[in-house]
Structure 1
């Protein structure tokens, strides 16, 4: 047996690692498309347990020399590649409805089947990757470096593939590359049976890449419902980082949220761009677009109140401010360039629309030539996920928008109407905080709220709303049948007149906030603290203590008001923790006694702390860099690739010897890297000005030293177990379990305690590892 890994071994290890990270990225996109994003995170977290389970398997099988040969590695590689194809085949035939799994055993069985199949490629990759550390325990630096560098390339490669081809085709391409790698390795090492399996898999993967099976979509998803409309036509299907874009056309596609019930005429037909399988953006078939109905719509009201001056629209949704603003100087900011390309092709620039592909925060923070008369946050109509960062709808973001307005300008934020109100109380408290940041003494004098049957519009101005504006609001509401929920000087008896509720709750909430009184009981059903830069999660509504009462009071309808992402994140954390505990304990009876200075608890503590700390730090930087880059998928690709490649380089340069000096140098570098990386973490405006390539380069430069430093503690410690090689896969598996646990913990900590707390917990994990390593050195 060769005692040194050859170049081909390192290439193969990097290839499996690249496939693993690519699979993680692609699975999130695939599962979010085929079933809800809430369940996508749960499914991938459970699948990632395959890495830790592989460590347990290797720890149990470590006595056999067969576990340290080419055959074991090739089996893991081929299982990974075959798992890609099996997962694709299953996803093309099973349309999941996960919300029904709680009371339909058949649906639960289908969901578990998909999760189990997703587990297989991670398990196979874990066998292949973990086996090399067991096989060559004295070469952890080069092995871990190849592992991380491959992972970084896989993350970038997955992002590149998603821009060019559908996710199902991307999975086929990765599987083909993996089978080709297995074919090469098996051929060189004389494994004819493995080579034949690799050749067969390669041929099948090529076919799948060219003609991939389309993922099945649940019948309750928006894409499925729209496809069932009579006469619907698919105009285009375009891949992209933010998900598949499907452009549909049918005469029955009509969208007019916020339209008065008194509007007497028809609403024009529109095309629908479906992003992923749930987000729907209506698009006019040609510009100029028909917009007569906007005169009776809440979407057109702000333009009627401020008929002159430039307009800024942030994001896109069914709330169609650009249609109402035709002929005005309008800047439309949308991060998805595919939507803008469609608009350009249909003549939008000819009617005064300036289309900008960028993030909303960056547009607000960038230097400007002048002030806007109206800023409409159209994307707020779509809502969002409880764990999704939205920095514009924080107190700092809304304050920034108010700064960009002319003195008499208006900020317009639309919301779908929920009863009891789910997001409205939090928007009002956040807006009050934003006005206070602008040194406004009486925030309530700057705000007006109108309510229709299904829509809510919140208006705010840097200056108190004057009598002329209030009179215009009341005339509009009277003419078109909308309820005034709040305006300066409004009496409670003037609310709740047309679309009657049990009480004028929307007025009472605004009155309570602006007079600094407690919210009414019904307004406290949901989380209502202001969204801040530290906790930029404006769509989080779940108040844990109120949830049981809400479900009891509303019955089955109450479950739809809960933040399922948070509930499933907690469930994932508990399930992962339990399974990890069982799988960590499983091999202990079969392992030999561990020799000093190590102890089972200290090994588990050290490698668990590293796994948890690494993923917490990595994910909190991903959360914060959305502020600077605008697009979450772009931020994820940049952060994950930087951390993995940087850590791979750091691993290759990790000290060989276990001394107090090497320990101090390793962890001092981590501390110094954290200090430098805090610049993009804490900066709000500084990094928003440069162009995207330069901004990305600056961010990488600030994170790379930290990533380099964080790649060194793991191989340094793992090499100290070289004399007790059967404990190596156990330690590696614990690191994997902790990483999976951290992936579900990171959003929970950030949402409830703040991003700085997540970073602090990650830092404490490295301090714990530093202390444990010190005990090892003292006991030598």
Structure 2
């Protein structure tokens, strides 16, 4: 039994590693929205395995070890084939207009290639759970423990062997599972040796040896790689980093690169971009050059708006915080204008390492300047951990037009753009300090900042806001919020500097929101009030309501699937209209397409997973079977669990910071805690006929407590180091996760005497409503906030509690079938006790 348990752990571990790494691969080589497709496909494949096992039940009356071993070998082979399949197929979805048949065929082939390993892994787990149903509480522990470990192991290994290497190692784990499942010693030894040989390849050759090619030319990265300009490739736990040489040449000049050498820092294959600008380190000379000729700015900075706050505070011994320091242009701007102290915070450690190491001489050693203090970390956490006040806090977005066009980030939480974040910024500014932000959708920035301003008891917000705009940077307006009201002299200086006649007309910044004259605002006074009226918000063509930590989806503002025109009456600025139109490709909103695809797929899944078993399976047709309660119970569990899981991933990102660390922390804690809860339930006396209500009551009580206490705990913990924040998050999640592991095995025990295939159908329904629940959780979080989604998940668990007794009590009891009972001699002794589920098979 121990070999079987470890085999289950390895299959679960390898499946989670495969799912996580394919998600990262598609983030980089395709688009982040397609990575959502991987998660849905994995769950669908598991559910499809359940449907198959419902229609053709697992032969539990026989020894299934050979079947498990064969499926594990098939899993390993299918995983190994993924790299050549993904690299060979033309997977640029934009080809569909010119080559629709070949494009659809390519994605269809990809779909099938991805489906096979997940289907086989799901079938292995279903077979084990069906065969050894009386031991479900222990086996479920090994399943969840393996999945939990998989979420953690990727972090230290991704920078060493890359996603390609980890995927190969997932195949090796499948072979090790086959060795454990196999009855033949010779087969087992062969699988072990083959697994070790396969895993040794990426370990020895490094992270670049098994890689995936780019399919979409995001920000020119595909052309640059083909031209041999990719100088460095590094898989960081947070982002894949490519450094591209962009030495200037008149032959390669573009509207975005009109002079000066630089290196492009491509995050995740061009989803975001920053630059190392070549600089000799002479700050005085650079300042003189800019003052003589403002057009020189473009050789050292993305636009003149980068320098706005630094010019305003020049030579005042100013203290500066840069959140998202990346390639260093903001840090350099601060140094040029005499900053005395600079904290430069960057989320991706690899970028900090490159800026302070390999590329430091190239950028003039600006991060080694005595005034500069470089930090790898998350901006809000850094702010919470420091008592320093700054004269300037600067955040310059590094999103790109291509990333907007692909819809990247629309469904991602942006915790730097919530009312709570603005309160952090304002509270860390000096009495006359300036918050300097370049980001798209400035009307929503203003409503969000205004809400924070009002919550802090401050008034007259419009007098503190200046916004500059240029035709060449529609998605990067310059927002300046000053703690003291703006003076005419300050505005006059900025107007002259940012709108200099030395600049190209399209690069000149013009004042769009004038703090000195209310009649010269593009936005109405309601945007600055801190209480954005609902009636105004509902009649606007775009959603500009302020964002909070409970609903941090800053980029989700689309209301119509149609092209938009700037509209002063509707307060729709050119930049926001341009941004939303960019992500609308041939009438398809790329920022929401994955939701529509998932919704359509869910409808198909319902027909497949519900109607087919009801019509063709024994468990669906037989009198005395408990189809409706079974459907309801396991559907509620699947939707409820995935809703809590996905909401916690988004919610705890505010506390932990890094997406990958958050993902790993939440999943590992929930899965391990659930596994421990499952294994402990038998010892605690929780079974299908006693104590069965305890887990449900505990889930509801702990869920409500987490909703109530999270804001207070996270507020205190945000100042802690990353490891401590992860620990706090784990401690908050673990008690709830412990009880979440009990309802599923309780349900399996309750239906163990159903006709063959019932457990497989329960598995399939659980998987189906994981997809449906995942979609619903996203929609609920977008429309109503995280707390509302959590409350709905708790209601689902209450519904499962209500239907459990009916499901259990309508199951035919084994005592009523004495003449047809056969004990399976291949089962371990602990699984042969009377009345313990499928260990005693009722032949129908």
The interval holding the TM-score normalised by the smaller chain is: 0.7 to 0.9
- What does residue 767 of structure 2 align with? 736
- What does residue 500 of structure 2 align with? 479
Q: 1:559 aligns with which of 584, 590, 603?
A: 584
Q: 2:262 aligns with which of 261, 270, 279?
A: 270
Question: Contact 1:234–1:246 (CA<8 Å) still a contact in 2?
Answer: yes
Alpha-carbon separation, structure 1, partners of 2:710 and 2:216: 41
- What does residue 353 of structure 1 align with? 372
Question: Contact 1:288–1:351 (CA<8 Å) still a contact in 2?
Answer: no
Mapping for residues 226-625 of structure 1, pairs under 5 Å: 227=224, 233-252=229-248, 267-278=259-270, 279-285=272-278, 288=281, 291-292=286-287, 296=294, 297-307=304-314, 308=316, 309-316=318-325, 320-326=329-335, 327-328=338-339, 329-345=341-357, 346=360, 347=365, 348-350=367-369, 352-369=371-388, 371-379=389-397, 385-415=409-439, 423-455=441-473, 456-480=477-501, 481-490=508-517, 507-509=521-523, 513-514=527-528, 524-543=540-559, 546-548=560-562, 550=564, 559-560=584-585, 564-588=590-614, 589-592=616-619, 599-625=626-652
- What does residue 826 of structure 2 align with? none
- What does residue 217 of structure 2 align with? 220
C-alpha deviation, 1:42, in angstroms: 1.9
Provide closer, same or farther for how the CA distance between residues 305 and 611 of structure 1 changes in structure 2, counting only shifts above 3 A.
same
Is structure 2 residue 732 aligned with structure 1 residue 702?
A: yes
C-alpha deviation, 1:391, in angstroms: 1.4
Provide closer, same or farther for how the CA distance between residues 341 and 182 of structure 1 changes in structure 2, counting only shifts above 3 A.
same
C-alpha deviation, 1:665, in angstroms: 1.8
Provide closer, same or farther for how the CA distance between residues 318 and 358 of structure 1 changes in structure 2, counting only shifts above 3 A.
closer
Question: Contact 1:60–1:587 (CA<8 Å) still a contact in 2?
Answer: yes
CA-based RMSD of the aligned residues comes to 3.4
Alpha-carbon separation, structure 2, partners of 1:577 and 1:518: 33
Alpha-carbon separation, structure 2, partners of 1:23 and 1:372: 44
Alpha-carbon separation, structure 1, partners of 2:582 and 2:242: 31
SS at match of 2:275: strand
User: Which string of whole-angstrom CA distances, capped at 9 and with x for unpartnered residues, describes residues 533-578 of structure 1?
Assistant: 11101111211xx223649999986724975242312321331332
- What does residue 152 of structure 2 align with? 156
- What does residue 504 of structure 1 align with? none
**Stretch deviating more after TM superposition (205-214 or 476-485):** 205-214
Question: Contact 2:161–2:202 (CA<8 Å) still a contact in 1?
Answer: no
C-alpha deviation, 1:741, in angstroms: 2.4
Provide closer, same or farther for how the CA distance between residues 635 and 67 of structure 1 changes in structure 2, counting only shifts above 3 A.
farther
C-alpha deviation, 1:375, in angstroms: 0.6
Question: Contact 2:308–2:498 (CA<8 Å) still a contact in 1?
Answer: no
- What does residue 717 of structure 1 align with? 747
C-alpha deviation, 1:429, in angstroms: 1.8
Provide closer, same or farther for how the CA distance between residues 431 and 677 of structure 1 changes in structure 2, counting only shifts above 3 A.
closer
Alpha-carbon separation, structure 1, partners of 2:479 and 2:542: 19
Provide closer, same or farther for how the CA distance between residues 146 and 562 of structure 1 changes in structure 2, counting only shifts above 3 A.
same
Is structure 2 residue 705 aligned with structure 1 residue 681?
A: no
**Stretch deviating more after TM superposition (580-589 or 440-449):** 580-589
Matched length? 744
User: Which string of whole-angstrom CA distances, capped at 9 and with x for unpartnered residues, describes residues 29-65 of structure 1?
Assistant: 0111111111121243123311001111111221645
- What does residue 694 of structure 2 align with? 665
SS at match of 2:543: coil
Provide closer, same or farther for how the CA distance between residues 779 and 601 of structure 1 changes in structure 2, counting only shifts above 3 A.
closer
Alpha-carbon separation, structure 2, partners of 1:105 and 1:319: 45
Provide closer, same or farther for how the CA distance between residues 754 and 465 of structure 1 changes in structure 2, counting only shifts above 3 A.
same
Provide closer, same or farther for how the CA distance between residues 556 and 272 of structure 1 changes in structure 2, counting only shifts above 3 A.
closer
C-alpha deviation, 1:645, in angstroms: 0.6
User: Which string of whole-angstrom CA distances, capped at 9 and with x for unpartnered residues, describes residues 612-632 of structure 1?
Assistant: 111111111111111111111
C-alpha deviation, 1:202, in angstroms: 6.2
C-alpha deviation, 1:695, in angstroms: 2.3
Mapping for residues 90-169 of structure 1, pairs under 5 Å: 90-101=85-96, 104-169=100-165
Alpha-carbon separation, structure 2, partners of 1:294 and 1:120: 60
Alpha-carbon separation, structure 2, partners of 1:33 and 1:752: 28
Alpha-carbon separation, structure 2, partners of 1:775 and 1:251: 72
User: Which string of whole-angstrom CA distances, capped at 9 and with x for unpartnered residues, describes residues 218-261 of structure 1?
Assistant: 2422363461696x64332222112321222231399xxxx9x9
C-alpha deviation, 1:463, in angstroms: 1.9
Question: Contact 1:53–1:583 (CA<8 Å) still a contact in 2?
Answer: yes
C-alpha deviation, 1:668, in angstroms: 2.6
C-alpha deviation, 1:670, in angstroms: 1.8
Alpha-carbon separation, structure 1, partners of 2:280 and 2:669: 42
Alpha-carbon separation, structure 2, partners of 1:716 and 1:100: 49
Is structure 2 residue 618 aligned with structure 1 residue 628?
A: no
**Stretch deviating more after TM superposition (384-393 or 763-772):** 384-393
User: Which string of whole-angstrom CA distances, capped at 9 and with x for unpartnered residues, describes residues 87-129 of structure 1?
Assistant: 1111222342224446723222212221221111110100111
User: Which string of whole-angstrom CA distances, capped at 9 and with x for unpartnered residues, describes residues 711-735 of structure 1?
Assistant: 0111112012222243111111111
Question: Contact 1:102–1:108 (CA<8 Å) still a contact in 2?
Answer: no
Question: Contact 1:509–1:523 (CA<8 Å) still a contact in 2?
Answer: no
Alpha-carbon separation, structure 2, partners of 1:557 and 1:661: 58
**Stretch deviating more after TM superposition (302-311 or 62-71):** 62-71
Question: Contact 2:276–2:328 (CA<8 Å) still a contact in 1?
Answer: no
Question: Contact 1:312–1:330 (CA<8 Å) still a contact in 2?
Answer: yes
- What does residue 500 of structure 1 align with? none
C-alpha deviation, 1:597, in angstroms: 7.9
**Stretch deviating more after TM superposition (706-715 or 397-406):** 397-406
Is structure 2 residue 167 aligned with structure 1 residue 171?
A: yes
Alpha-carbon separation, structure 2, partners of 1:522 and 1:723: 54
Alpha-carbon separation, structure 1, partners of 2:605 and 2:196: 34
Alpha-carbon separation, structure 1, partners of 2:243 and 2:494: 37
Question: Contact 1:542–1:562 (CA<8 Å) still a contact in 2?
Answer: no
User: Which string of whole-angstrom CA distances, capped at 9 and with x for unpartnered residues, describes residues 512-544 of structure 1?
Assistant: 62477999999943221111111101111211x
Provide closer, same or farther for how the CA distance between residues 228 and 72 of structure 1 changes in structure 2, counting only shifts above 3 A.
closer
C-alpha deviation, 1:18, in angstroms: 0.5
SS at match of 2:522: helix
User: Which string of whole-angstrom CA distances, capped at 9 and with x for unpartnered residues, describes residues 440-468 of structure 1?
Assistant: 32221110011112221111112211222
Question: Contact 1:312–1:376 (CA<8 Å) still a contact in 2?
Answer: yes
Question: Contact 1:78–1:124 (CA<8 Å) still a contact in 2?
Answer: no
Question: Contact 1:313–1:322 (CA<8 Å) still a contact in 2?
Answer: yes
> Please, which runs of 5 or more residues in structure 1 have no aligned partner?
1-5, 417-422, 495-506
Provide closer, same or farther for how the CA distance between residues 521 and 102 of structure 1 changes in structure 2, counting only shifts above 3 A.
farther
Alpha-carbon separation, structure 1, partners of 2:110 and 2:619: 37
SS at match of 1:376: strand
